[in-house]
Amino acid sequence: MKSKALISPTVLSSPSRKVKMKAKNRRPSRRSTRIAQVPAPYRYEPLPTSSSFRILELLPGREGDLVQFNYILADWNSPPEYEAISYAWGAPDDKATILHEGKDLSVP
C-alpha cells in the first residue's frame, strides 16, 4: 500500500519570487512526533486547618540545576522533625523560578 504525502504540494509566493515545496512520501521520525512538556504554573491550595503548615522538602540537584522541591503537609499539634535551612530567601524584589512537583513557582 502506498502512503500519502504528509504535506500536499504548496506554492509559497512573495512579490519577488515563488517557491514550490513538496514533502516526501514517508512517515515522520519518532523524534518529530514528541511534544515538549512545559511545566504548568504552581497553583496555591489553602491549608486545610488553622494548625496546618507546610515543610519544603528540597530535592537533590547539581550546581546550575533548577531548584526542585515538594511540600510536606504538617500540623502544629504533632509536628514532624525537620531542619530549617532558611526563613528568608533574600530581597522581596528578587524573584526566581523553582520547580514544585513539576510546576513552575516564582518565589522572592
3-class SS letters over 56-99 = EEECCCCCCCCCEEEEEEEECCCCCCCCCCCCCCCCCCCCEEEE
User: Would 79 be classed as within a structural domain?
Assistant: yes
User: Would 24 be classed as within a structural domain?
Assistant: no
Query: What is the domain extent for residue 92?
Result: 52-107
User: Would 99 be classed as within a structural domain?
Assistant: yes
Domain count, the chain: 1
pLDDT digits (tens, 9 = 90+) for 44-54: 889 999 999 99
Which residues are CB-neighbours of 20 under 8 A, at least 6 positions away?
9, 10, 11, 12
Per-residue pLDDT, 76: 95
User: Would 5 be classed as within a structural domain?
Assistant: no
How many residues are listed for the chain in this entry? 108
User: Would 26 be classed as within a structural domain?
Assistant: no
Question: Cα(31)–Cα(28) distance, rounded to whole angstroms?
Answer: 8
User: Would 11 be classed as within a structural domain?
Assistant: no
Q: What pTM value is reported for the model? A: 0.46
User: Would 9 be classed as within a structural domain?
Assistant: no
Query: What is the residue-level pLDDT of the chain in tens, covering all 108 positions?
Result: 444 444 334 343 334 444 444 555 556 555 555 566 677 777 888 999 999 999 988 899 998 888 888 989 999 999 999 887 766 656 777 777 888 778 888 876
User: Would 45 be classed as within a structural domain?
Assistant: no
